[in-house]
Chains A and B, each alone.
Chain A
Amino acid sequence: MTDSHQKDGPTRRSFLAGSAVAGAAALTGTAARATDPDPAITEVQPWARYLGDGVDARPYGHPSEYEAQVVRRNVEWLTADTTSSVNFTPIHELDGIITPNGLCFERHHGGIAEVDPAQYRLMINGMVDRELIFTLEDLKRFPRENRAYFLECAANSGMEWRGAQLNGCQYTHGMIHNVMYTGVRLRTLLEEAGVQPAGEWLLAEGADASAMTRSIPMEKALDDCMVAFKMNGEALRPEQGYPVRLVVPGWEGNMWVKWLRRLEVGDQPWQQREETSKYTDLLADGRARRFTWEMDAKSVITSPSPQAPITHGPGPMVLTGLAWSGRGTIPRVDVTIDGGINWVEARMDGPSWDKSLHRFYYEFDWDGSPMILQSRAHDSTGYVQPTKDALRDVRGENSIYHNNGIQTYAVAADGSVENVEIA
């Protein structure tokens, strides 16, 4: 039986949910009863008795010490050196759609450039009427805009092409962040320089030791790209390109050049290392796709997940996750708890912005039996997130990049969760 985009009626939906978790209803309706008084209530806690820090103690605040495990993590064996490497956003611990600045994953090719904003310069050169130099102050005098976009590394989930490898969505899906950028439309700066008619390509270059370069078609540059100097309201973090980075909505993270120092207009792509040796997608026949810019629709359940097991036992629970598409918005996510035999539409919550993360929830009564969880995103173009097997049928196992296949988790009766593949 198939179902396109029409919503399930309440009767049918509740039938599906009920049949998938048979017997769960018996667990609901009565709150648990305590026998002994709870010392968290009956004893005066220190924070209820003594004074805490004053307002001068934390000029730039940090999370609670009880959240110390919510950090970016490195996987040592992935790369030869930490300065050309990646770490991972703890998406299993986060909710909503905005990534806190200090938790946004990092991907550097020559370490973090610590750029003095007084020495910051942005050059526009090449096929323009006026080759220009801007200071940071100059950039802040152009009209601004605010937009939230996801930035996903092209290699996110890349270690999973050949099968289930890393146990946790932080590792399998955490090369992503979603922040509110403030900056200037790239179009505004290019118009200031005056792009010549033959200028169909733009080269963006970073100021770090890797001098990161990518070729961007002018159509995209003039569409929705931004030159951003703020993220989530404050200056970019050094690891995110302080003081200025490029924002290339919906496109692979490598193109979002950090510490942006130069924009060159030309009539052909430059075929730089990061668009030939890297960020090209090898297929099974030995040929490779180049210029695979868009990040296709994708989703992942962030809780429960291997790093976020179910600790509360059977009964009411919240399944939640993230979905996104480089080609638009996410109007719908389907979830299954029986490995894809039956699906239900998850509940989307929060803003639905173009090329931004979306949050979904599925609340249900868990009967305590093992589950196999998946989520399946639909984007606003009608594209449906494929299974990993469907992707492998087209691409083989060696493309490294652009793995947007459906993730599977096995939940055991004890609530522990494992990254698995099913057939």
Chain B
Amino acid sequence: AQAQTYGLGREALPEEVAAWDIDVRPDGLGLPEGSGSVLEGEDIFLERCASCHGGFAEGAGRWPPLAGGQGSLSSDDPLKTIGSYWPYLSTVWDYVHRAMPFGDAQSLEPDEVYAITAFLLYMNDVVLDDQFVLSNENFTDIHLPNEDGFFMDDREESPLFPPHDVCMTNCADSVEIVMRANILDVTPEDAAAREARAAVAA
């Protein structure tokens, strides 16, 4: 069926689409031509990335670690990194290119992004050869360890979902408080609100 149109807007020019359409998909759609090596990536990473992400992509201070954590996902303290958690290499290329370095986004050339991505693969032991060169030609040959670790939202099939009756009276013999936020005491202090309450209640 032909939908109503209003004739508003104008046709986008190829240069305009190229300037903004920078996304990359897991099948490689959107990758520009280019290449970069692990060793080139290490140099760029040390200069542009390591101050937050550490020299080995292990993370610095509170900034995100990008490597490590393999095998930790079912532990009490999972470390979710590119190597341990991310499903697709395309996301690494895309995200670094679109949003990093933090505070100076979209300042990296495609070859630099290939090189950084190659370095991150090496830091995560996905490639073991420090002479490895990543390019748009071999990009989709690389698979990250946790590619199969995700599945489509199935909450509606969970036991929580079917409509059910609820108990309204005499639902338990007793209840006991087992955890208190005050013990942690990590909530920001709000003296102004306390004083305002006291003033009105006085």
Contact = CB atoms under 8 A, between A and B. Distances in A.
A49 interface: no
A394 B158 contact: yes
Nearest to B74: A286
Contacts of A191: 3-5
A419 B88 contact: no
B20 A262 contact: yes
B7 to A, nearest CB: 8
Contact of A289 (B155, B162, B201): B155
B192 A165 contact: no
Given A110-B99, A133-B10, A292-B155, A287 B171 contact: no
Interface in A280-294: 280, 282, 284-294
A390 B105 contact: no
A198 to B, nearest CB: 13
A246 interface: no
A76 B62 CA distance: 12
Contact of A277 (B23, B85, B201): B85
Given A109-B99, A165-B186, A132 B11 contact: yes
Interface string A247-291: 000000000000001101010101111001100101011111111
B8 A125 contact: no
B192 A125 contact: no
Interface string B93-110: 011001100110110000
Interface stretch (A134-142, A145-153, A234-242, A360-368): A134-142
A261 B20 contact: yes
B166 A273 contact: no
Given A164-B179, A343-B171, A130 B98 contact: no
Interface in B1-44: 3-6, 8-12, 16-17, 20-27, 29
Interface string B150-169: 11111100111111111111
A297 B17 CA distance: 40
Interface string B67-103: 0000001101010101001111011001100110011
Contact of A166 (B21, B98, B166, B181): B181
Contact of B95 (A272, A383, A394): A272
Given A164-B179, A312-B201, A130 B154 contact: no
Interface residues of B, number: 88
A4 to B, nearest CB: 4
A245 B86 CA distance: 28
Nearest to A415: B201
A93 B95 CA distance: 38
A261 B170 CA distance: 55
B177 interface: yes
A2 B20 contact: no
Given A282-B73, A344-B168, 5 more contacts: A74-B188, A134-B9, A142-B8, A167-B182, A342-B170
Closest 8 CB pairs of A and B: A382-B163, A286-B74, A339-B175, A286-B73, A191-B3, A80-B62, A419-B181, A69-B193
18 contacts: A67-B196, A75-B186, A75-B187, A80-B62, A110-B99, A132-B9, A135-B9, A192-B9, A210-B99, A211-B22, A268-B27, A270-B24, A272-B23, A287-B73, A288-B151, A339-B172, A372-B177, A423-B175
